[in-house]
């Protein structure tokens, strides 16, 4: 077990230990209505939580000061914990036999892909209007093409190649036929260039009231946060921690966390179940964040746990979030908590800060009502405070030792409870690391978008893992059939379009054969003007006259334009030179 209880500093590497010690000046009103310390019911966050918001009551009690000498007792007794009676698990009408894609569309519906298509087309038009000219390689997109685009985007996380161009390579050992059948490479690049999910004209300028720094992806954030909670009811145990998104570009909220596998990047606060399912998340925006308070860790927990009030959930977090008054406050709002804590935090028992342990597995505990403080010897002392577990009833656990062996040691219930449930966010990040969505981009908001898409794919994977009897479904085995179904319709459209283009090319060759004499005759007339093709003002016609039947069209629009321009030009110049 990683020792989160040492005094080397909080797990959040970008925070100084002095800042974390500020939890001693907690924003919790100890002697007043503790329910008011949570965000009010009128916060904008309630609009996202939707029907998961519990009925919020008030609770008043006079809590003792943990600094008092008589606060902690060595007399250990059983704690009084309310039974957890809430319904948990999936909350939808799908069965285990339904396709993975149906689970996928629980999180992101067709309406969202319609929105993407509309806003992408709108953004392309805005760019063309700003430049004063259209991109000849762009044509409006639609819902099915956007779905196929995201399917390919996710497939790139499963099948990694050094560059995007290689997926469409003509080399049979490198190129992937599925990508070629779904859409051309240039079309994928154009969709990437103009992809948008919000109208720039609705953006509130920086420094103005109502400015949203996540405006670019706000529709995706609101949709997924609501659906994550709507279609899966939270279990008894929840964990809260930070997730990191690898990012090396310029962004005001980029973080450095030396204790994390991803040391530099963007931070997201997450509330997950032990199986890795994400129930809620909040993107960290530093000083521009609406989660404001004297202590950041406590404020984050309050926001993420607001739907859990008065339901008896058990929440687990690390020392960055933990303080003695805060655990009392959570308990008074119907939430039990357990977390590692720095031994120099205000209120922690003085005799547990540097206990005299003889070997691994030794423990000392102090208690105040339901609040239990524990010091346990692992590789080094671990300090935990909890309102979730009895102080009595140490259980055995096996500890690995050098050489591959195991030794049996004892651990207190609070330690066992913490070790079994605190890793939900870490597991979600491990799932994401298996097949991460997305490629490098110059736009920071696309990294957030890819992160949310990763979290969205975890939902059908975990749900099917729970419902299937074998319990051995792998994330890649679950993703692939769904992605194949997601891009298949667009692939069929692409194949049909290719057949149509081949027929048009045959028609083009027939047209050129019929008009070959007229073309040769027109060329001979032009040659009489010393081969000056510039007298033909239409640039496309000049190219056709020079290339002849070797000219290759790419779409039906090209063919129609080619035929009309050619006929019109032949008629015009025939009349002119026949006079």
Q: Would you state the pLDDT for residue 570?
A: 62
Nearest to 570 by CA among 512, 510, 505: 512
Q: Would you state the pLDDT for residue 574?
A: 58
Instruction: State mean pLDDT over 250-264.
Output: 88
Instruction: State mean pLDDT over 177-189.
Output: 88
- Total domains present in the chain: 3
Q: Would you state the pLDDT for residue 257?
A: 87
Higher pLDDT, 120 or 153: 120
Task: Note whether residue 507 is domain-resident.
Answer: yes
What phi-psi label fits residue 143: left (phi over 0), alpha (psi between -120 and 50 degrees) or beta?
A: alpha
pLDDT at 93 over 90: no
Q: Which two tokens stand for residue 569?
A: 């030009």
> Do 534 and 442 fall into the same domain?
no
Instruction: State mean pLDDT over 157-186.
Output: 89
Task: Note whether residue 479 is domain-resident.
Answer: no
Q: How confident is the model at residue 542 (pLDDT cuts 50, 70, 90)?
A: low
pLDDT digits (tens, 9 = 90+) for 187-234: 899 999 999 999 999 999 988 888 899 999 999 999 999 999 998 899
> Do 28 and 164 fall into the same domain?
no
> Do 522 and 571 fall into the same domain?
yes
pLDDT digits (tens, 9 = 90+) for 259-309: 888 899 999 999 999 988 999 999 999 888 777 666 899 999 999 999 999
User: What residue numbers bound the domain in which 343 lies?
Assistant: 17-91+231-427
Q: How confident is the model at residue 345 (pLDDT cuts 50, 70, 90)?
A: very high
Task: Note whether residue 387 is domain-resident.
Answer: yes
pLDDT digits (tens, 9 = 90+) for 481-503: 566 666 765 555 555 556 665 66
> Do 146 and 295 fall into the same domain?
no
Lowest mean pLDDT among 116-120, 248-252, 435-439, 563-567: 563-567
Average pLDDT over all residues of the chain: 78
Q: DSSP letters along 236-272, please?
A: SEEEEEEEEEE--S--TT-EE-TTSSS-EEEEEEEEE
> Do 461 and 498 fall into the same domain?
no
Task: Note whether residue 146 is domain-resident.
Answer: yes
Backbone angles phi and psi of 564, in degrees to 5: -65, -45
Q: Which of 427, 452, 482 is the last residue of a domain?
A: 427
> Do 73 and 189 fall into the same domain?
no
Q: Which of 473, 500, 532 is the last residue of a domain?
A: 473
b/e burial code for range 188-215 (CB count within 10 A of at least 16 → b): bebbeebbbbbeeeeeeeeeeeeeebeb
Q: Would you state the pLDDT for residue 438?
A: 79
> Do 300 and 200 fall into the same domain?
no
Higher pLDDT, 466 or 178: 178
Q: Would you state the pLDDT for residue 560?
A: 61
Task: Note whether residue 419 is domain-resident.
Answer: yes
Residue for token digits 């080399």? 171
> Do 47 and 117 fall into the same domain?
no
Instruction: State mean pLDDT over 360-376.
Output: 93
Distance CA 2, CA 261 (A): 14
> Do 418 and 445 fall into the same domain?
no
Distance CA 169, CA 166 (A): 5
Q: Which two tokens stand for residue 387?
A: 């309102």
Q: Would you state the pLDDT for residue 101?
A: 78
SS3 state at 395 = strand
pLDDT digits (tens, 9 = 90+) for 8-23: 433 444 444 344 443 3
> Do 24 and 127 fall into the same domain?
no
- State the sign of the Cα–Cα–Cα–Cα dihedral 66, 67, 73, 76: positive
SS3 state at 533 = helix
> Do 380 and 244 fall into the same domain?
yes
Distance CA 48, CA 386 (A): 30
> Do 406 and 318 fall into the same domain?
yes
pLDDT at 323 over 50: yes
Lowest mean pLDDT among 63-72, 399-408, 549-558: 549-558
SS3 state at 367 = strand
Task: Note whether residue 480 is domain-resident.
Answer: no
What is the pTM for the complete model shown? 0.75
Task: Note whether residue 5 is domain-resident.
Answer: no
Task: Note whether residue 312 is domain-resident.
Answer: yes
């Amino acid at each position: 077990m990683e020792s989160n209880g040492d005094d080397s500093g909080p797990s959040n590497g970008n925070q100084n230990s002095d800042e974390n010690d500020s939890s001693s000046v907690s924003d919790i009103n100890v002697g007043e209505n503790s329910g008011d310390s949570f965000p009010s019911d009128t916060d904008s966050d309630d609009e996202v939580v939707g029907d998961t918001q519990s009925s919020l009551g008030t609770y008043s009690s006079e809590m003792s000061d943990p600094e008092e000498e008589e606060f902690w007792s060595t007399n250990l007794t059983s704690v009084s914990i309310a039974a957890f009676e809430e319904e948990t698990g999936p909350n939808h009408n799908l069965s285990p036999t339904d396709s993975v894609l149906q689970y996928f569309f629980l999180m992101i519906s067709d309406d969202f892909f319609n929105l993407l298509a509309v806003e992408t087309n709108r953004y392309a038009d805005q760019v063309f209007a700003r430049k004063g000219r259209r991109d000849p390689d762009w044509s409006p997109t639609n819902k099915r093409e956007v779905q196929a685009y995201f399917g390919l985007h996710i497939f790139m996380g499963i099948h990694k190649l050094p560059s995007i161009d290689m997926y469409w390579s003509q080399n049979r050992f490198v190129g992937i036929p599925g990508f070629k059948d779904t859409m051309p490479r240039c079309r994928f690049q154009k969709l990437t260039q103009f992809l948008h999910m919000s109208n720039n004209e609705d953006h509130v300028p920086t420094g103005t009231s109502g400015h949203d720094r996540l405006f670019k992806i706000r529709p995706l954030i609101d949709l997924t946060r609501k659906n994550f909670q709507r279609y899966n009811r939270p279990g008894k145990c929840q964990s809260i921690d930070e997730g990191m998104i690898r990012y090396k570009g310029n962004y005001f909220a980029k973080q450095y966390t030396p204790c994390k596998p991803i040391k530099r990047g963007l931070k997201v606060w997450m509330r997950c179940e032990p199986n890795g399912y994400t129930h809620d998340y909040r993107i960290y925006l530093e000083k521009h964040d609406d989660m404001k308070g004297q202590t950041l860790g406590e404020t984050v927990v309050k926001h993420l746990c607001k739907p859990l009030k008065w339901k008896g959930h058990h929440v687990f977090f690390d020392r960055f979030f933990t303080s003695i008054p805060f655990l009392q406050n959570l308990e008074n709002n119907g939430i039990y908590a357990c977390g590692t804590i720095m031994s120099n935090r205000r209120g922690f028992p003085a005799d547990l800060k540097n206990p005299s342990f003889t070997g691994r597995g030794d423990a000392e505990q102090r208690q105040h009502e339901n609040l239990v403080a524990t010091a346990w010897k692992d590789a080094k002392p671990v300090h935990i405070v909890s309102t979730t577990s009895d102080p009595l009833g140490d259980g055995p656990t096996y500890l690995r030792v050098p050489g591959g062996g195991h030794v049996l040691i004892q651990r207190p219930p609070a330690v066992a409870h913490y070790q079994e449930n605190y890793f939900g966010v870490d597991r979600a990040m491990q799932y994401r690391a298996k097949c991460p969505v997305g490629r490098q981009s110059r736009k920071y908001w696309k990294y957030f978008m890819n992160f949310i898409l990763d979290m969205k794919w975890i939902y059908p994977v975990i749900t099917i893992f729970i419902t299937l009897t074998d319990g051995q479904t792998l994330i890649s085995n679950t993703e692939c059939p769904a992605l194949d179904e997601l891009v298949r319709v667009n692939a069929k459209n692409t194949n049909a379009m290719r057949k149509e283009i081949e027929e048009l090319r045959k028609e083009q060759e027939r047209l050129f054969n019929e008009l070959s004499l007229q073309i040769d005759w027109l060329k001979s007339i032009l040659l009489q003007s010393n081969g000056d093709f510039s007298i033909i003002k239409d640039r496309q016609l000049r190219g056709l006259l020079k290339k002849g039947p070797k000219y290759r069209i790419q779409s039906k629009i090209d063919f129609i334009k080619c035929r009309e321009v050619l006929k019109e030009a032949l008629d015009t110049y025939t009349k002119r030179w026949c006079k």
